[in-house]
Structure 1
Amino acid sequence: MKKYTLLSLTLAALLGSSCTKEFDKMNIDPNNPTAIGPQYLLPYAMEKSVDRFWGGSTRFERLNIDGMMLWMQYFTRNIYSNEGDNYGLSPAFYNNNWASFFNDGLLNFQRIIVDSSPTGKAPNTNYEGVALVMRSWLFSVTTDLWGAIPYSEALKGTAESPSYTPAYDSQDKIYEGLLNDLKIANEKLIVGGPGVQGDIIYGGNILKWKKFANSLRLRLANRQAAKKSAESRAIMREILGDATKYPIFTSNDDNALIKNTATLPSNNEWHEVMVRGSRTDWNISSTLADKLNALGDTRITIYANPVAGKYVGHPNGLPDAIATTYLSSSSTIGNYFTRPETPSVIMTLSELNLILAEAAIDGDITGDAKTYFENGITASFEQYGLKVPADYFTKVGAVTREKVLDQKWIALYGVGVEAWTEYRRTGFPVLPAKDPRAVFENDGVLPTRLPYPSTEYSLNKASLEKGIALNGGADNMKTKLWWVEK
C-alpha cells in the first residue's frame, strides 16, 4: 500500500503542471549531497595533505619517510635500499603525491576559499583566511618539490571558465603570489570574527592562524632572499616591525601541526607504517648519530633508540647484502616518533627562530643573531620536554651561518621535506663523504627535485614543456631550482 501511495503521488506531481517546478527538489538524494560545507572539506583536506607531507603510509609513495628523511641522512635503510636510500624512486612516488596534493588538498582548499568569499555561497572571512593559509603552504611545498607548476591557472576545473590544461608558472612568480596571499590571509583572519569548525590544526583559534600565516611568510621570504633581497628584506622587516598587526610564533604552543590520536585513521602515519604495518626497514643514519653524539645533544634520546646503551647508525646507500648486517646493531627510530598520537609537524617556533638568526646574520633584519640562534635551539629541546645541556652552547661555539643551518637540520628531524629544501638552497649541512661500499642511482647526485608525473605528459604536455623550460634544465632529479644560492 505504501508503494502504491508513493507511486500515485509521484505521478500526480509529474502530471500536474503546477508541480513541475518542484521536480528538481524531489530528485535530490539527502544521503548523497552535491554541496559539502567547509566544516567537512577543511579537515579532509588538512589530513590528506599533511599526512602526505609528514609520512604517507602507502609503499613506494612515502614522500618523507622513503625520500627526504633518507636523502637528508636522518634515516638509512637496512633493506630495500632501492626504495629511496640510493636515490632510486618508483614512478608512484612522484605521480601519486602530485595527484594527492592537487586533488585532495589544493582543490578542496580552493573550494572553501570560493564558497567562503564575500560573493560565495556562505561568506565567512575566517574560513577563507584559514583555507588561504593552507593553500599557500601546500603550493609552497609543491613548487619546492617540482619547481615550475600550474599555479595562476590551476584549480579552475570547475570555474565558470574552466581550464583543463593550466599553464605553468615559474617558481619566482609562484613565490611572489604566495607571499602576497599570506599577507591577505592575515588581513582576512579576524580574531573574534565568525567561527571555524573542522579545524584539526588550531581548533578554530584565529590568532594562532594569523601567527602561522606570518611565520610561513617569513620562511618563504627568507628562502628567496638570495634571489630577491630587497623584496624579502622589506617583507621580513614589515612583519617584525608590527607584532600587533603581524603576530608570529612566540611559543611551542603556536606550532603548526596536526595532533594525531590513537584512533584510526587519525593516527600518526609513522605509527601506521612502522608499528601497525610492522615495517622495520629503517635505522638511524650514522650522519645523524655522529653529529649529535659529538655535541652531547640529548635530542638523540628522542630521535633514536639505544643499542646496548649507545646511539649508533650506519651509512646511507649500502646494498642490501651489507645493509642487512646492521639490522640489530644500528639504532632504530625513536619510540616517540612511532607512537600513534605523535603530531604531524608543519612548522615550529624553533624553525622560525633559526630563520630569523640566518636573516640577522645576512643583514636582512636588525635583531640579534645569537639570541635568535639560542632561542631556536632551546625551543627545539623544549618541543620534546628536554632542557638544553649546560655546556651545549659552548660546544656549538660562535654563531655562524653554517652553524645556524646545521642546527636547523637537527631541529627539522621528522620534517625531512623542509630539511631537504634548506639543504638544496644553501648546501648545509655539509654531508660526509659517501661510504665506499654505497651504490647510488641518479649518477650519485642527491636529488635536487622530483620528476613531473606521467599524467602531465599525457594530459597537459604543451604546458608541461614550457614548465620544464622555466626550470632551466631537464625534467630529472639533477636540475636545480630557482632559490638555490650557488
Structure 2
Amino acid sequence: MKSLKLLHFIFLLGIGLVASSCTEEFEEINTDPNNPVTIAPTLLLPNAIQVSVDRYWGHSNRYQRLNIDAAMCWIQHLARNIYINAEGDTYEIPITVSSGTWDNLYNSSLINLESILQLAGPGGDFENRNFEGVALTMKAFTFSYLTDVFGPVPYSEALRGTADESINSPKYDSMEEIYMGLMADLRLANEKLVVGGPAIEGDIMFEGDVLRWKKFANSLRLKLANRQAAKKPDESRAIMQEILGDPGQYPVFTGNEDFAQLRHVNVIGSRNQMFDVFSTRSDWNISSTLINKLLELDDERIRVYALPLANGTYAGLPNGLTDAAASTISASTIGQKFLDPEAPSILMTYSELLFILAEAAYDGDIQGDHLELLQNAINASFQQHGLNMPSDYMSRLGLIDKETIMTQKWIALFGQGIEAWTEYRRTGFPVMPAPHPGSIFVNNGVLPTRIEYPPSEYSLNMSNLEGGIQLLNGGDNMRTRLWWAE
C-alpha cells in the first residue's frame, strides 16, 4: 500500500513539474519581443527631446506653429504678407496653436520624461543617474516653456494618470510654485549628472556628453532665477551666487561650441522644422522693425537673418497690414541659414547666457561689469553666425541702460521668437515703434501677453481650470500679464 501511495505522489509531482515547465515555456513563447512590457529610457528619450524642441523652435504643422506663426510676428522679427488676419500677425491665432502646444508637450514629451525618471530612478528597471539628470533637465525646460506661455498650469499633480494613486484631473499650480519646483529639479539634475558615470544612449541632443547636460541644467537655472528676480530677489540672488561662485560644481556654457541645440539631418522627420516651413511657403518677410534697427546700427547680422532684394538692399515689411497692402511692398525674406535642412534648432545659446548675466549685473543681482558682459554677449552672437563683431560696435549703442541690453538681446534671439517674446513681456523691451497707419490689430491692440488655455481643459478639467484662471489674476485671454512681468 505504501508503495502505491509513493508511486501516486511521484506521478503527481511529475505532472506538476511538467505543468510548471510548460507554463514557463508558454509564457516565454507568448512574450512578444516587438511589444515589450517595459520600454527602455533609450527608446523614450529621443522622441521626448524632439517634441519639446519642435514645439519650441518651429513645427511643420500649419496652425500649430507657436514660434513661427505667432511669437516671431508678435515680437516683430517676422511679418506676414498673406493670411495676416488668420495666422498671428494681427495678434490673433487659431485655437489649434494652443491645443497643439499643450497636448504635445504633455502627452508626447513630459509623459515620456516622467517615465524615464521612474525607469532610471532607484529601484527602477534601468537604474541610471545620468538618465535621471537628463530627464530632469528636459522636464524643467519643457515645463518652463508651458508656464511662460500659458501662466499657471498643472504641475505637481500632472503626469500621474498611471500612478498607483492616479490623478486624471490635476490641479493648477501658480507660476511661483512651478518656478520653485523647476529650479529645485535643475539643482538635483546637476547632482545626478556625473561625468564618467553610466552612459546615456538615445541622447540626440548632446550625444551622451554629460558635461554639456550639466552646463545646460545650470545655465537654464540661471535663466529662470533671473526671470523671477524682480518678484523674488533674495532667492534669485542666492541661486545665482551659488552657481557662479562654484563653477567646478556648477559648470555653465563657456562658448558657442557647447550651448543647447538640436542638430538635424536632411531626412524627412529629422530636418530642421523651419526649413520645412520656409522652403515650401513664402508667407513671411522680415519685419521692418528688425530691419530698421539692424540698418541703424550697420549690423552685419542682417546678412544672416535676411536675404537682400534684387538690388542688393534690405527692406522690411510692417506688421499687421492687410493682405492687399502687404502685397504691394517688396521686403526681404528669411536668410539662407534658416533654409538649411540641417541647421540646428536652438534652445539656449551662450550669447543668451551672457545677456542674462549682463542684465543681472546691471540690476545689481550679481557682481560684474555689465558693460563687459554686454560686449561679450554681442560678440558671442556675432561669432555664433560666423561673423566678427566690429571694434566700434559698442560706441554705436549710445547710453547703455537696461533697454539697450534687452534690445541687443532681442536682436540676438532671432529665431527664438518665443524667448524674445517672453523677455518683452517680462521687461517691456525693446520699445516697439508706433504701428504702421495701415496696420489692423485685434486683442484690443495689445501685443499678446500669453495664449489661452486649450478647449480640452474646459471640457475635461473645468473645476481645476477655474482655479488656474483665479491664479492668473485676470481672465483667460491674451491680455493678462503673467507673474514675472516687471
Pairwise TM-score range, normalised by the shorter structure: over 0.9
Gaps of 5+ in 1: 1-11
Helix, strand or coil at the partner of 1:47: helix
Alignment partner for residue 292 of structure 2, among 264, 281, 290? 290
Cα deviation code 1:110-161 (max 9, x no counterpart): 1111110112111100000001000000000000000000000001111111
2:295 partner amino acid: N
1:6 equivalent in structure 2: none
1:374 equivalent in structure 2: 375
2:8 equivalent in structure 1: none
Distance of 2:412 and 2:82 partners within structure 1: 27
1:46 equivalent in structure 2: 49
2:82 equivalent in structure 1: 79
What's the C-alpha RMSD, in Å, of the aligned pairs? 1.4
C-alpha displacement of 1:17: 6.0
Query: Does residue 170 of the first structure (1) align with residue 171 of the second (2)?
Result: no
Alignment partner for residue 318 of structure 2, among 315, 318, 321? 315
Distance of 2:360 and 2:425 partners within structure 1: 18
Helix, strand or coil at the partner of 1:252: coil
2:203 equivalent in structure 1: 199
Distance of 2:411 and 2:301 partners within structure 1: 9
1:153 equivalent in structure 2: 157
2:101 equivalent in structure 1: 97
Helix, strand or coil at the partner of 2:328: helix
C-alpha displacement of 1:199: 0.9
Distance of 1:32 and 1:181 partners within structure 2: 32
Gaps of 5+ in 2: 1-14
Distance of 1:53 and 1:40 partners within structure 2: 22
C-alpha displacement of 1:251: 0.4
2:306 equivalent in structure 1: 304
2:287 partner amino acid: S
1:418 equivalent in structure 2: 419
1:363 partner amino acid: G
C-alpha contact 2:453 2:476 (8 A) present in aligned 1: yes
TM-score, normalization by structure 1: 0.95
2:69 equivalent in structure 1: 66
C-alpha displacement of 1:447: 0.7
Choose 397-406 or 419-428, whichever is displaced more: 397-406
Helix, strand or coil at the partner of 1:76: strand
1:249 equivalent in structure 2: 253
Distance 1:17 1:124, change over 3 A: closer
C-alpha displacement of 1:390: 2.5
Cα deviation code 1:22-54 (max 9, x no counterpart): 544433222222322111111111111101110
Alignment of 1:441-456 (within 5 A): 441-456=442-457
Distance of 1:144 and 1:27 partners within structure 2: 47
Distance 1:459 1:22, change over 3 A: farther
Distance of 1:107 and 1:377 partners within structure 2: 37
Aligned length: 469
2:38 equivalent in structure 1: 35
Cα deviation code 1:258-285 (max 9, x no counterpart): 011112211110111121xx20000000
2:347 equivalent in structure 1: 346
Helix, strand or coil at the partner of 2:235: helix
Helix, strand or coil at the partner of 1:253: coil
C-alpha contact 1:373 1:399 (8 A) present in aligned 2: no
Give the structure with higher Rg (CA).
2
Helix, strand or coil at the partner of 1:257: strand
Distance 1:25 1:160, change over 3 A: farther
Distance of 2:21 and 2:409 partners within structure 1: 70
Distance of 1:330 and 1:194 partners within structure 2: 52
Q: Percent identity?
A: 55
1:113 partner amino acid: L
Helix, strand or coil at the partner of 1:133: helix
C-alpha contact 2:41 2:126 (8 A) present in aligned 1: no
2:5 equivalent in structure 1: none
Query: Does residue 389 of the first structure (1) align with residue 390 of the second (2)?
Result: yes
C-alpha contact 2:314 2:332 (8 A) present in aligned 1: yes
Query: Does residue 333 of the first structure (1) align with residue 337 of the second (2)?
Result: no
Helix, strand or coil at the partner of 2:164: coil
